[in-house]
Structure 1
Amino acid sequence: MPVISPAAPADLGAVARIYAHYVTDTVVTFEETPPTVADWRARHDDLAARGLPFLVATVDGEVAGYAYAGPWRPKPAYRHTVEDSVYLAPGFTGRGLGRALLAAVLDGCAAAGMRQVVAVIADTGSDASAALHRRLGFANAGRLTAVGHKHGRWVDTVLMQRALPVVAGG
């Protein structure tokens, strides 16, 4: 049974390793150099200061995946809109961890007073990420054609969006 909890500094090495796989071996992210643990610590601290969720899923004590929500754009008028990210360690896909992580991130975003969540999904030929987002209430919001170039190929992104419930005081 997976345990979903806030990411702790001790989890960030595993987070860095999980993401490094996607950076070096896939076009799922347009990042080309894996962030260091120090980079992840800075991101973790920034999101915590903003009151935004950064969560890990552990299975038998091992970090099997992570998810967080960060600012969608830096301009002040976007302050109530976030972009979600969900990544699972190889070997831990297809077990419902992505759904559990994303659902918990959405709850954390609503509690933080966010109003909209945007997913920017690389169109890799697999529908897994878009299907996950659809199952949790995201709708298609558009496609950006050939906006990324990685590993010798042009990659589209699919934009999806979900409104969050208004929480008292939000």
Structure 2
Amino acid sequence: MSVTIRPATPADLPHIVRIYAPAVLTGSSSFETEPPDEMEMARRMKYVLEGGYPYLAAEIGGRFAGYAYASVYRTRPAYRFSVEDSIYIDPDMQRRGAGHALLKALIGECEQRGFRQMLAVIGDSPNQAASVGLHEACGFGVVGQLPGIGYKFGRWVDTLLMQRELGEGMRSNP
């Protein structure tokens, strides 16, 4: 079955909350400790979209498979051409191409919007290898690691930083 990528909408929020909650409760890909409810996720989606960033959904066979969005990397003005990506896939739909399709579409959307750098901040989790592989397959390279930057589940958690140029990247001025 092929993967369909489309803009995410508020109607997708129940699926987004359902997918994200276990990542918060059982994994360290997210550094949150309490899963946000649908109202909070709606607020976040609105912030992303109103900021001019893409928020995408993936479907496989008509079933919601995952979501991805780009958002502000840092708020200071000099970072305005850089974005951070976030991708979450329903565990039952993993390894079917949804993550790759979402990330490729997200990269394309960000390039069209004039962004020049995309960063992936990958938490220390059992899915880290899959996330690293996905990002490598889409042209990202490792640019750093933050050892013990978070504390979750009674242990210090690392973060891996990966980066990819978008469009002209640093080769020209925006």
TM tier relative to shorter chain: over 0.9
How many residues are aligned here?
Answer: 169
Structure 2 residue aligned with 1:65:
66
Paired residue secondary structure (1:52): coil
AA matched with 1:152: G
Segments of 5+ residues of structure 1 without an aligned counterpart are none
Structure 1 residue aligned with 2:36:
35
Tell me whether 1:132 sits opposite 2:134 in the alignment: yes
Q: C-alpha separation between the residues in 2 aligned to 1:65 and 1:2?
A: 10
Structure 2 residue aligned with 1:20:
21
Question: What is the percentage of aligned positions where both structures have the same residue?
Answer: 44
Matching residue within 156, 163, 166 for 1:164: 166
Q: Deviations over 1:81-112 (max 9, x none)?
A: 11000100111111111000000011111111
**Are the counterparts in 1 of residues 3 and 97 from structure 2 also a CA contact under 8 Å?**
no
Q: C-alpha separation between the residues in 1 aligned to 2:78 and 2:68?
A: 24
Segments of 5+ residues of structure 2 without an aligned counterpart are none
Aligned residue runs from structure 1 range 70-109, under 5 A: 70-109=71-110
**Are the counterparts in 2 of residues 57 and 64 from structure 1 also a CA contact under 8 Å?**
yes
AA matched with 2:95: G
Aligned residue runs from structure 1 range 134-149, under 5 A: 134-149=136-151
Q: C-alpha separation between the residues in 2 aligned to 1:40 and 1:85?
A: 14
Moved segments of 4+, more than 4 Å: none
Q: C-alpha separation between the residues in 2 aligned to 1:79 and 1:38?
A: 27
Structure 1 residue aligned with 2:48:
47
Q: C-alpha separation between the residues in 2 aligned to 1:42 and 1:57?
A: 21
Q: C-alpha separation between the residues in 1 aligned to 2:4 and 2:143?
A: 32
The more displaced of 121-130 and 71-80 is: 121-130
Q: C-alpha separation between the residues in 2 aligned to 1:123 and 1:111?
A: 31
Structure 2 residue aligned with 1:10:
11
Q: C-alpha separation between the residues in 1 aligned to 2:48 and 2:123?
A: 23
Q: C-alpha separation between the residues in 2 aligned to 1:8 and 1:74?
A: 25
**Are the counterparts in 2 of residues 113 and 166 from structure 1 also a CA contact under 8 Å?**
no
